[in-house]
Amino acid sequence: MSDPANRPTASYQANPEDVQRVLLLYSGGLDTSVMLKWIQEKYEAEVVALTVNLGQPGEDYDVIRGKAQHLGALECRVVDAREEFAHEYVLPAIKANAIYGSGYPLFTALGRPLIAKLAVEQARETGCDTIAHGCTGKGNDQVRIEATIATLAPDLKVIAPVRSWQMGREEEVAYAREHGIPVRGGTEVAPYSIDDNLWGRSSEGRWIENLDHAPDDDVFQLVTRPEEAPDEAEVVTVGFERGVPVTLNGERYGLVELIERAGEVGARHGIGIVDQLEDRIVGLKVRDIYEVPAAAILLPAHQELEWLVGTIHQNQLKPSLDQKWAYLVYAGLWLEPLRADLDAYMNAANSQVTGTIGVKLYKGSARVVTRSSPNAVYDAQLVTFHESGGLFSHEASPGFIELWSLQSRIAWRVRHGSDA
């Protein structure tokens, strides 16, 4: 009988003796490079490395692959998942106007379930019994990755060395030195903790943890500082078909390229800097600096178009469903059936979201300035202050007001006396 005190807390946690071959989610950075060696040493297991391309800029996948092989990986697979990420993850987020908190468009939260799904697929193909990832015990990412793996592949085990190895950065650097692991960018200053993909970039750590410290300029690697952005404003038009962004300034692009181009023009104008205090699902309140130039153009454009084609009733309901969708995704429950249920509504609502929105970009601000749609619930004739040609009945207004205010008037009389 095994000692209950030594039993793993969760069904998917690995007993070290059962770990034979590990699929490691590998970024090429310090943590996962140390991990690549550490797993071989500690578990006497083989390691297959997997690196997923979600459109994070400036990555050299040949270098990453070479590094993994140098550190003893059986092989290093690089999966280009940009199309799948854009169409199956970012697009539903656009249709749901997905924002968590005051401005986080969930790029990391959207990427994790896809990475976890690919890890399961690759673990199957390469005969791995265990998946390892580099998340810490203090973040949301461990939840997203492990919840997805445990849902899709209950038989696979998961190890999260950063949660257990009790090495700080200094010990990790020392371990790297001892084991011939190259450390990028010197070892003196701890770098920001970065995560990025096609849909945005986040920075955590260092001074960001001091809430009264205003952002240092060196954190912004994607977006131009608004002070340095062009003095001339620029209007970009975004064309949507059934909720899908399909054109930029009248040019048609595939989704990946459209997001990249929107990101470039937004970054040039200083758009999409978010300095957010965030309630994590593991109980911590943490500050993040986000750079989300594409999302800061495409989401407001989408929302405005949705607003234009929706009725008052649809427009009142949708934000509450959007918020629920964003929270499920933030909280690591991508595979929760409610998310698919909500997607059915999102798709129904987006069936009308066709048209074009112009967004004016100027030194860090993105403001909707033009709207047009064949499905607009809008009649310029009705709205105008000029004579509306009998379409809108002025005579009906007093009768409407009489009935519309009836309950409120009765309540007022009851509370304030009949002769008030």
Answer yes or no: 141 catalytic: yes
- Cβ distance to ligand ARG smaller for residue 51 or 140: 140
Indicate the pairing of strand 200-204 with strand 234-241: unpaired
Q: Is 341 a catalytic residue?
A: no
CA angle 122, 98, 362 (to 5 degrees): 115
Q: Which of 161, 183, 154 is nearest to 170 (CA)?
A: 183
Q: How far apart are CA 10 and CA 403, in angstroms?
A: 60
Minimum distance from residue 345 beta carbon to ligand ARG (Å): 24
Q: Is 72 helix (H, G, I), strand (E, B) or coil?
A: coil
Only one of the segments 3-11, 136-144, 295-303, 343-351 lies at the binding site for ligand ARG (rule: CB under 6 A); that segment is 136-144
Question: Does an H or E element contain 132, and which?
Answer: strand 130-132
Q: What is the DSSP letter of 15?
A: P
**Interacting residue with ligand ARG among 36, 52, 82, 141 (CB under 6 A):** 141
Using CB under 6 A as the binding rule, whether residue 142 contacts ligand ARG is answered as no
Stretch that binds ligand ARG, among 137-145, 236-244, 339-347, 392-400 (CB under 6 A): 137-145
18-26, 76-84, 138-146, 260-268 -> range binding ligand ARG (CB under 6 A): 138-146
Rounded to whole angstroms, the Cα distance separating 238 from 232 reads 19
| 234 DSSP β-pair partners | 361
Please list every residue from 23 through 62 that binds ligand ARG, using CB under 6 A: none
Q: Could you give the string, one character per residue 276-315, with x where binding to ligand ARG holds by CB under 6 A and - elsewhere?
A: --x---------x---------------------------
Query: Tokens representing 344?
Result: 């059915």
Of the pair 288, 291, the CB lying nearest ligand ARG is at: 288
CB atoms within 10 A of CB 345: 17
**β-strands 251-252, 244-248: how paired?**
antiparallel
Member of 130, 140, 224, 303 binding ligand ARG (CB under 6 A): 140
**Least distance to ligand ARG from the beta carbon of 139, Å?**
6
Report helix angle 295-309 to 312-330, nearest 10: 150
DSSP character at residue 375 = T
CB of 102 to ligand ARG, least distance (A): 13
60 neighbors 34 (Cβ within 8 angstroms): no
C-alpha 118/C-alpha 81 separation (Å) is: 9
For the chain, give the longest Cα–Cα distance: 90
Of residues 178 through 217, those in contact with ligand ARG by CB under 6 A are 193, 195, 202, 204
Please say which residue, 109 or 236, places its beta carbon nearer to ligand ARG. Answer: 109
112 is catalytic: yes
Identified catalytic residue from 129, 193, 261, 280:
193
Which residue in 27, 141, 203, 373 is the catalytic one?
A: 141
Figure out which of the listed residues 32, 33, 97, 108 binds ligand ARG, where binding follows CB under 6 A: 108
Is 193 assigned a catalytic role? yes
Residues forming the site for ligand ARG (CB under 6 A): 108-109, 139-141, 193, 195, 202, 204, 278, 288
Active site residues: 31, 112, 141, 193
